[in-house]
Amino acid sequence: MRYGSSARQRMSKMNEAKLIACHECDLLQWETALTDGGTARCQRCGATLYRSLPATFDRALALTVAAAILFAIANCFPVVGLWVNGTLVNTTLFGAASSLYADGMWAIAGLVFVTTILMPALNIAAVIYLLLPLQLGGFPQKPEIVLRVLRHIAPWGMIEVLMLGLLVALVKLQHIASVVPGVAIWAFGAVMVLLAAAAVTFNPRDSWARIGGVRNNTDVSYGVAASSSTTATGARAGLFTCHHCDLLSKPPAHAHGASCPRCNASLHLRKPDSLKRTWAFTFAAMILYIPAALLPIMVTSTLFGAQSDTIISGVVYLWTTGSWSLAVIVFIASVVVPMLKILSLTYLAWSTQLRSALIPRERTRIYRIVEFVGRWSMLDIYVITILVALVQFGSVASIEAGPGAIAFGAVVVLTMFAALSFDPRLIWDAVELERE
């Protein structure tokens, strides 16, 4: 069989590079060598394809083990305390979540526990499980399962949002009594820094490269290189991209779904029922946003009566007490971000449903931003958690979570699910149809 000169050149590159598909627009591209610290971006949509990080597993393991030790300390010692009438009242993070559960706010308690304790703990344990055997000269058992779990839990660990919420809570508490920052607040800050540093030094692509089974896609690359030059996307070439291990593979004939030959994850040309699920989550968030904005998220009871605070009144309180920067942060995170997420997801789903080919790059960028900022709306939930746990002085003063907190927490979770359900490759499918 003979090929043209351009096809021969492309095939000669296969010993040095392999074919990859962009997760956000499905464009097929050749992987190229990068300098250390370099980033490869999609030539069509600008998405990050991969980074060239030095294989510093030793450093990543050391940082993660240090984070594990400090994370244990952070959950054993008080986060913050209040001096009231010569008595120190303090709480741990788990104790704060337990207070919400005892008050009947089990949904909020569960959300706080999952996002600040369970998911970060699983993240730390997964990285140590993967790296420790490599350090000892062995190889972890079933690493593909752990790497898949790591990818799923990553968006739900919110230590950095917790730290900002603790800062806002401290500002509010200082108007009630003398505030004593606990050991845990410093430990959580250190955990946040260590996990961020470990994420920079730990490259999952290197771990996938060490996993046995299907190690590269030479056959796939060969077939595409030898095909028509009009083949631009994975879908056109009939190739599946695994969102867990990034492997590009050829599915069985006449099959819409398949399993990844390397990590055994389910493969689909596009996320199943992507638009339906995005619409469902977005509509639910839209409906719950109304009670989240109007109903009180916190109820303060004192000798002089009860006061209900909504999200807006909380922002006003920070502003009038002189904490202007925190007021702006809370307003953006709790009011602007949820509203813009809902509007952006509605626009993305609607324009994609209509198969619009307009400004695809800008719409993909909107999706990227929505996916990134989704977690920061949890700020108010963490503030309420700390206040409810500490301000319990019987008839003198007490704070309880209001019904608006449940609705607001649901809005945050639903918009995150909506963003995770949306498949940005559908935006570019309309562009491909217009070119035909």
Of 398 and 111, the structure prediction assigns the larger pLDDT to 111
For the segment 62-66, the average pLDDT, to the nearest whole number, is 95
Beta bridge partners of 232: none
What percent of the chain clears pLDDT 70, i.e. is strictly above it? Answer: 85
Q: Whole-number mean pLDDT of the chain?
A: 83
In whole angstroms, give the CA distance from residue 414 to residue 431.
29
Beta bridge partners of 61: none
Alpha helices in 104-180, H assignment, sequence order: 106-113, 119-135, 143-153, 159-173
Q: Of 88-97, 184-193, 252-261, which gets the smallest average pLDDT?
A: 252-261
For the segment 181-202, the average pLDDT, to the nearest whole number, is 91
Q: Of 101-115, 158-172, 195-209, 212-226, which gets the smallest average pLDDT?
A: 212-226
Of 5 and 54, the structure prediction assigns the larger pLDDT to 54
Of 70 and 82, the structure prediction assigns the larger pLDDT to 70
What percent of the chain clears pLDDT 90, i.e. is strictly above it? Answer: 37
Tokens of 365: 């960028």
Q: How confident is the model at residue 427 (pLDDT cuts 50, 70, 90)?
A: very high
End-to-end CA distance of the chain: 29
Q: What is the number of H-type helices and E-type strands within the chain?
A: 19, 14
pLDDT of the residue at 185: 93
pLDDT value at 80 more than 70 = yes
> CA triplet 11, 14, 19: central angle to 5 degrees?
105
pLDDT of the residue at 1: 37
Q: Of 33-37, 179-183, 332-336, which gets the smallest average pLDDT?
A: 33-37
Cβ distance 116 to 155 under 8 Å?
A: no
Cβ distance 116 to 195 under 8 Å?
A: no
Q: How confident is the model at residue 33 (pLDDT cuts 50, 70, 90)?
A: confident
For the segment 88-102, the average pLDDT, to the nearest whole number, is 90
pLDDT of the residue at 221: 45
The residue with tokens 């009011």 is 335
The residue with tokens 């008080």 is 78
Q: What is the pLDDT of residues 281-325, one digit of tens each?
A: 999 999 999 999 899 988 876 655 567 788 888 888 778 877 788
Domains and CATH numbers, the chain: 5-52+214-262 (no CATH), 56-211 (no CATH), 268-436 (1.20.140)
Cβ distance 25 to 424 under 8 Å?
A: yes
pLDDT value at 400 more than 80 = yes
Beta bridge partners of 301: 306, 398
> CA triplet 232, 235, 241: central angle to 5 degrees?
105
In whole angstroms, give the CA distance from residue 158 to residue 136.
31
Composition of the chain by helix, strand, coil, percent to 5: 60, 15, 30
pLDDT of the residue at 17: 53
For the segment 89-103, the average pLDDT, to the nearest whole number, is 90
pLDDT of the residue at 108: 93
pLDDT of the residue at 227: 44
Cβ distance 208 to 259 under 8 Å?
A: no
In whole angstroms, give the CA distance from residue 382 to residue 405.
10
pLDDT of the residue at 146: 87
For the segment 184-212, the average pLDDT, to the nearest whole number, is 84
pLDDT of the residue at 163: 93
Q: What is the pLDDT of residues 134-189, one digit of tens each?
A: 888 888 888 888 888 888 898 899 999 999 999 888 888 887 778 888 999 999 99
Label the pairing between strands 48-51 and 39-41: antiparallel
Q: How confident is the model at residue 230 (pLDDT cuts 50, 70, 90)?
A: very low
Work out the number of other CB atoms within 10 angstroms of the CB of residue 39. 11
Which letter does DSSP use for residue 107 in this model? H
Cβ distance 339 to 362 under 8 Å?
A: no
> CA triplet 430, 233, 15: central angle to 5 degrees?
165
Q: How confident is the model at residue 85 (pLDDT cuts 50, 70, 90)?
A: confident
pLDDT value at 28 more than 70 = yes
pLDDT of the residue at 426: 94
Residue 12 Cα distances to 7, 20, 116, 219, angstroms? 9, 16, 49, 13
Q: Which amino acid is at 405?
A: A
In whole angstroms, give the CA distance from residue 82 to residue 59.
38
